[in-house]
A and B are shown apart, each in its own frame.
Chain A
Amino acid sequence: MAPVLELRGITKAFPGVLANDHIDLTLEEGEILALLGENGAGKTTLMNILYGLYQPDAGEIFVRGKKVEIHQPNDAIRLGIGMVHQHFMLVPVFTVTENVMLGVESMRYGLFLDRRKAADKVREISKQYKLEVNPDDYIKDLPVGVQQRVEIIKVLYRKADILILDEPTAVLTPQEVEELFKIIRSLKAQGKSIIFITHKLKEVMAIADRITVLRQGRAVGTTTPAEATMEKLAQMMVGREVELVVRKKEAKPGDVVLDVENLHVVDHRGTPTVRGVTFNVRAGEVLGVAGVQGNGQTELVRALTGLMRPEMGRIRINGVDITNASPREILEQGVAHVPEDRQKDGLILKYPVHDNLVLNTYYVPPFAKGLNLQFQKIYEAAAERAYEFDIRTPNIYVPVSTLSGGNQQKTIVAREFSRPIRLLIASQPTRGLDVGSIEYIHQRIVQKRDEGCAVLLVSPELDEILALSDRIAVMYRGQFVAILPAAEATRQQLGLLMAGVTAAEAMAAEEAPAAVEENPAL
């Protein structure tokens, strides 16, 4: 039988880049094919071609053995191809049903929306594929994981049997990832064929039947989880050997740099989100803050960097009270901040790379003389930083929005690390990045620590916390429920603390490890 989908020799060039270079790909019926590759390897371009958003320069597409032309998404939908985008395409103020029917509305008398019929259909799909969701809920009230289910229902509602999931786990918590995997397996069990785009090795090993690896626009190989190892996949992806473990020396903690006392923060809705946190970070050590997202980490970081006013408590940096200081005053104390949302807070996307590299130092010499910006100095410094931090960009004048996510993040890291700093506050510094970039940024953070910088690392990824931290604090509902030396912490114990189990109970569980099954997605 012919494969359900076959791509032959797909080629697509953009000005200056060959995004897809003669890519061949086959997808069998009822199979989960993982498309693995770094950011910028051409995964998304390839899928956009398949979905009719781009036209290939060369190459052929076959669906069930028949050659097809896909000029626009409607063609793809007609062929039974559905795509769940990384960034959801949902209307927040519409209900689940309304979102699902948008564009293919059921009508009564050709004039009125037939919401009930659509809602019934949503319920039916949701039951058939175990996609739990209430058709009458508003999207804005739903957690991210459920919104994603709505996206999948949308695709199934349009009768797709080839599903493309573009980086579906990037926005999910570990628990939600597990849920998603169950859904994907149930889809597979009912005969759907799935292309799963990702750069996360663990996920590929957990879910894929076959793995095709893309590198720099080329398909460099196809393998299966049984044949491959994580190390081998990483090597195929990056093109060289990659250290999946961060090497670091023993920490030599020095003086206290960041001292936080009984900090309380209230968010813009008036909800207390940080409720009495006390801790310190010493020079030359990494304090990792673990916790499921939404337990007050965001507000903690925003209060420390002056972006939010604390309700109560005191923050000192090098003995200087900065509790109500402005972001600039805090910055000038030698604080670097790698923000959680790089596109919202960390970069001005339409600005060129060079302006983003001096975004918080543009006003001091040598970049400014009086009122005048010194462009020559800015360009030279920018080129140095781009080189030193390996930012892959054609030149420093292109808008930073044209760089891949990993290179955008490197731009932020380059900017923050090139100032004289004594405290680094890094919030999810590797979110959404590929193996190569993660390795690089981790090395840089360890290097800063070794130079005597105090590091506060906030991340929902336990792997990252465990790899980098010297001490680990677990944040739960606005409080630090425990601060432990990293050497004594286990994944299982941290997982329990993150879920709100008290420290004593977590210790007890540690005694009887068989009682709790380790969550493989963490």
Chain B
Amino acid sequence: MSEQKERALQNSQDTRAQALARLLLRPARGSLWQAILLPVLAVFTALIIGALVIVFTDVQVLNLYKDFFAAPGKALAASWKSIASAYSALFKGSIGNPAEFANAFSVLRETGDTAPLRQAFWPISESLVTSVPYIFAGLAVALGFQCGLFNIGAEGQIFIGALASVYVGYSVKGLPQYIHLPLAFFTGAAAAGLWAAVAGLLKAKTGAHEVINTIMMNYIAFLLSDWLLNGPMKRPGWSPISPAIQDSAWLPKFFPDPLRFHAGFFVALAIAALVYWLLFKTTIGFEIRSVGANPDAARYAGISVTRNFILAMFLSGALAGMAGANEVLGVNHQLASAFSSGYGFDSIALALLGKSHPVGVVLAALLFGTLRSGATRMQSLAGVPIDIISILQALVIIFIAAPAIIRWLYRLRLEREVGETVFTRGWGQ
């Protein structure tokens, strides 16, 4: 009797243990390839369409098409040449020229001269240098998205961060680098964070939409920086440029000129890792993401929606501010007006491309940085206008924003995507 009972108990415990094990068993994750397939195809498709644009904007090639039926080979060959020269210039301008690498190494072996080597590495150094502000600004917008906030003000926040950093950089003297540099960097971040938090506060207290407020505050930031650089922060002379920062505030460089690659790249990677940890491993991130995913349920669960709006805007602004600080402390070492050429606006597209995930943002930032810095070379070598890059970027965004196009083009089966990120909400929700 008791034996029977025991066996029954044993049985029920077995089924319980089995059920728990089944519930805890992680399903096989989709491969990494699956995750990046759509973005990769989007970039690939953009390059193909970009090639068509290159052909159709090349007057000489177009002229050959007049005689297409007489000599089709000529027109096609010219088209191919035009595309090949543009894209190879883009590659050489952003990654480097393989021949130059080989040559530089042999020179190094024979004469010990490192100058050709530096020259060969220059393109990739430039690409990485351009990627760094993109990483920071992309993280800024992505973090906002995670909380359901659309921070359009990254550009203005970059200026505020740069202003605060450069001020600490040139005005504070006599500090060792390990104090001065972090002080300048994080002052920039904090200033931009507080700047952005104003928009968060306005949304939390009055319901004013952050899109409007951050756009408006961009203009305030631009004009504030103009005024400061023409007045209180102007260096002696006629141009609206701030004094140069102290050496002790420089982000360390690792190589002699012309390589501008500096420590900001590693700082950016570290900050990306930090943002990942904060968003996905901590209670703070749980709250931020909950508010972004469903503010009603967050409130029901005892999470303060208003507090998280302010916090997320502060963090978002601080990240954007780091982009500005990085440019000042790592690249320019001074601040001139209009120094940020739209990093803040590009970063919105970039955060979308990176699916608002820190890893995605870093990859997207590397892509954007590479395209941007390769474009200059493409213009000088192949005579292809820089605007082609803007077209490429725009195409990538279109394909990411409308993945149905890519699925249709490549006949991909629709995988039910659950839990699409809520990027932002409408007015007066």
Contact = CB atoms under 8 A, between A and B. Distances in A.
A372 B282 contact: yes
Contact of B20 (A345, A371, A387): A387
A278 interface: no
Interface stretch (A87-95, A254-262, A357-365, A451-459): A357-365
Given A363-B283, A395-B23, A397-B26, A350 B300 contact: no
B22 A362 contact: no
State the main secondary structure of chain B at its contact with A: helix
Contacts of B300: 305, 307, 327, 337, 339, 345-346, 360
Contact of B302 (A328, A368, A373, A380): A328
Given A327-B302, A396-B23, A397-B26, A350 B418 contact: yes
B82 interface: no
Contact of B282 (A326, A373, A383): A373
Given A360-B302, A384-B20, A387-B19, A348 B27 contact: no
A204 interface: no
Given A327-B302, A350-B418, A344 B297 contact: yes
Nearest to B16: A387
Nearest to B422: A350
Given A326-B304, A351-B419, A380 B24 contact: yes
A395 B296 CA distance: 26
Interface residues of A, number: 42
A397 B29 CA distance: 11
A368 B283 contact: yes
Contacts, number: 94
Looking at chain B, what size class is its interface with the partner chain? 20 to 34
B297 A395 contact: no
A359 B301 contact: yes
A359 B27 CA distance: 22
A467 interface: no
B114 interface: no
Contacts of B26: 395, 397
B23 A373 contact: no
A395 B25 contact: yes
Nearest to A330: B302
A401 B27 contact: no
B27 A347 contact: no
A380 B304 CA distance: 27
A327 B307 CA distance: 14
B24 A396 contact: yes
Interface string B3-22: 00000000000001001101
B294 A349 contact: yes
B110 interface: no
A402 interface: yes
B19 A307 contact: no
B253 interface: no
A424 to B, nearest CB: 15
Contacts of B74: none
B309 to A, nearest CB: 16
Contacts of A139: none
Nearest to A327: B302
B316 interface: no
A138 interface: no
Interface of B: 16, 19-20, 22-27, 281-284, 286, 290, 293-294, 296-304, 418-420
14 contacts: A327-B299, A327-B300, A327-B301, A328-B303, A339-B300, A345-B297, A348-B298, A349-B294, A351-B419, A379-B24, A383-B23, A397-B27, A399-B418, A402-B418
Given A326-B302, A347-B297, 17 more contacts: A327-B299, A328-B303, A344-B297, A348-B293, A349-B294, A351-B290, A359-B290, A359-B297, A360-B300, A360-B302, A362-B286, A368-B283, A383-B24, A393-B23, A394-B27, A396-B23, A396-B24
